[in-house]
Amino acid sequence: MSADTKFVPRNLTASDYVRALFAPEENTAILVRNRSTGHTVQTITRAEAVINADFQKWLSHVSAVGYDVYIGMNPIKDGAHNRTKENIEEIRHVYLDLDKDGHAALEAIQNSPEVPAPNFVLATSPGKHQVVWKVSGLNQDEAETLLHGLANRFDGDLAATDSTRVLRLPGFANHKLAEEFIVQARQETNAVYALRDFTIDEDSPEAQRHIGDSREPQRKLSSNHRSQSERDWAYAKRALSRGDDPEFVIQRIADYRGDEKHPNYARYTVEKARAALDNSSATLSVHAEARGSSDERTDVPAERHGER
């Protein structure tokens, strides 16, 4: 984790939020959708263009006539015209959409030793929040595994656990509500976190822990639901990458799976995970060349835009 110890928490405008999320030359996705008509427009352009006064006036106009306004949470590759997983430049943020008992969920996050303090807390409607952490060094598989684990742990929306997600842009109205509510954002820290700063795993040998009582949580499966073996593999990679003892990881998997697998299954899984980590490159891509300033706006089918 890296952070400025002198940082003072602050409320953010839309432009402030974009500046805090992205470097000026990075490409970001802005999506607007009219909830009444279903009309959706996606724009992929540089962050510096989004904070421009003319672009902000356009967003204010479309918001005023009934469009919800969203921003992609990870930068887009140069030349890309959509925000598919293949077009994500780098994992820059992980997040939670707290649409159920949001105040209690936010309090649980803020008091939890299992996650660091969120960088951004958004009030998206009365009693509902979105929280965002700035991260570095995660690939898409690690990020989405972590997103599922966070959603399971803090009762977040499991639909909002993909790396291409768009979340609300502050300063504009939430038109899902009968009465107008302007989305608000507050930055609590400028820290940048690593995978080891989170100790949450989805459906892994680490125990499931939920807000409130100890009742058995209802399982909600996403469309990209993984097998238990895939979750064991993801858990092993995450645990090893944050420095856990391999023998401890082996024992956790063995205890979790019981007699349903071959006795050597846990050791084999951990050894393969360790080999994969040894062979993977830890080098992050460095953006040294200036990016183009092209602005691409496209109509997006309403059922595929992935906004919350």
The per-residue pLDDT for 4 is 64
Which residue is it, tokens 């949580």?
217
Is pTM, for the whole model, over 0.75? no
Q: Which CATH class is domain 10-197?
A: alpha beta
In whole angstroms, give the CA distance from residue 67 to residue 62.
5
The per-residue pLDDT for 241 is 74
Which residue is it, tokens 């009934």?
66
Mean pLDDT for all residues in the chain: 83
For residue 273, how many other CB atoms are within 10 A of its CB? 23
Domain edges within the chain = 10-197, 228-279
- The 10s digit of each residue's pLDDT in 131-180 is 999 999 999 999 999 999 999 899 999 889 999 999 999 999 999 988 88
Per-residue pLDDT band at 6 (split at 50, 70, 90): confident
Percent of the chain exceeding pLDDT 90 equals 57
Non-local CB neighbours of 241 within 8 Å, separated by 6+ positions: 142, 195, 196, 277
Helix or strand holding residue 93 (H, E): strand 93-98
Nearest to residue 127, comparing CAs of 109, 153, 100? 100
Specify the length of the chain in residues: 308
